[in-house]
């Protein structure tokens, strides 16, 4: 499948870390005005950071790379994922993002028919390994550019793909949760997660206790856009979210 122009830009950017308008014009064979428009749109979407004469990769707050975060608190994350699956019913269509907590869903999906839409190659591969060619689950991958080191499909094609679906549930991870909403450290998936929320009937956020009271780089959604928070245990930081005035949000703890 042919890459979109913005996906080509992301691919070149992942190799160099920064890209100037003149270089993009030469490599992509588009006009300077078109490249500048793409750069501005990508910066507004949080995919890149605008610099003088070009763009660069966004700075990430989270000091841990994806593989390290995958291991951190993995036992708690598995229990959170297992509890979240009890919300699902036979025949549900489910958006699942590429966070390290939602990745654990692959190990605890219930034996019922589910259609899973994800932007995570890692999650899709994990579910496929568990099915061994059989199983009641169908997995749909978004399009997009594979961002190095994350297993995540990002960019305009990923976002367009999500917009073509409607789901019963969106199950999402979060880098931080405060009374102003949920946040993510990964700039590249923020718009995709917003679209999953928009195109789902119900939304559950899966987050361990360390995420409460913590801000991250980008705001994803307000609390009134969510239906459930699933976490491992009640803490001082999670208590303000219980019975929050004017918010329908329900909190489920694994212990």
**pLDDT value of residue 249:** 87
**pLDDT value of residue 48:** 81
For β-strands 218-221 and 181-184, DSSP reports them as antiparallel
**pLDDT value of residue 59:** 52
3-state helix, strand, coil in the chain (%, to 5): 40, 25, 35
Domains 5-57 and 66-253 share a fold: no
pLDDT by residue for the chain (255 residues), tens digit each? 456 788 788 878 876 778 999 999 998 889 999 999 999 988 877 678 899 999 987 654 443 444 444 444 567 899 999 999 999 999 999 999 998 899 999 999 999 999 999 999 999 999 988 887 677 999 999 999 888 778 899 988 999 999 999 999 999 999 899 888 999 877 788 999 999 999 999 999 999 988 888 888 889 999 999 999 999 988 777 777 776 666 688 999 998
Alpha-carbon separation of residue 227 from 183, 194, 202 (angstroms): 16, 15, 6
Per-domain boundaries in the chain: 5-57, 66-253
Alpha-carbon separation of residue 18 from 35, 45, 74, 104 (angstroms): 14, 17, 34, 34
The sign of the dihedral angle between the CA atoms of 104, 135, 91, 122 is: positive
CATH architecture classification, 5-57: Orthogonal Bundle (1.10)
Question: Does the 66-253 domain belong in CATH 3.40.50.1260?
Answer: no
**pLDDT value of residue 12:** 82
**pLDDT value of residue 131:** 82
**pLDDT value of residue 74:** 65
**pLDDT value of residue 236:** 72
DSSP state of 46: T
**pLDDT value of residue 194:** 96
């Amino acid at each position: 499948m042919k890459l979109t122009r913005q996906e080509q830009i992301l691919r070149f950017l992942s190799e160099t870390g920064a890209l100037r308008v003149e270089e993009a014009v030469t490599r992509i064979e588009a006009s300077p005005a078109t490249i500048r428009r793409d750069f501005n749109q990508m910066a507004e979407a949080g995919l890149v950071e605008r610099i003088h004469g070009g763009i660069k990769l966004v700075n990430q707050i989270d000091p841990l790379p994806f593989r390290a975060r995958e291991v951190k608190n993995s036992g708690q994350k598995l229990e959170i994922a297992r509890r979240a699956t009890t919300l699902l019913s036979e025949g549900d269509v489910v958006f699942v993002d590429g966070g390290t907590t939602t990745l654990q869903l692959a190990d605890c999906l219930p034996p019922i028919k589910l259609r899973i839409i994800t932007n995570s190659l890692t999650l899709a591969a994990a579910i496929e390994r568990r099915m061994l060619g059989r199983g009641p689950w169908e997995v749909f991958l978004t399009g997009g550019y594979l961002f190095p080191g994350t297993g995540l499909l990002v960019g305009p094609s990923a976002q367009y793909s999500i917009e073509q679906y409607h789901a019963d549930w969106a199950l999402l991870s979060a880098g931080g949760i405060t009374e102003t909403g949920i946040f993510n450290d990964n700039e590249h998936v923020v718009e995709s997660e917003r679209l999953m929320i928009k195109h789902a009937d119900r939304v559950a956020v899966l987050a361990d206790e360390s995420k409460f009271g913590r801000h991250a780089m980008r705001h994803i959604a307000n609390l009134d856009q969510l239906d459930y928070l699933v976490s491992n245990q009640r803490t001082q930081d999670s208590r303000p979210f219980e019975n929050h005035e004017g918010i329908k949000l329900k909190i489920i703890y694994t212990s």
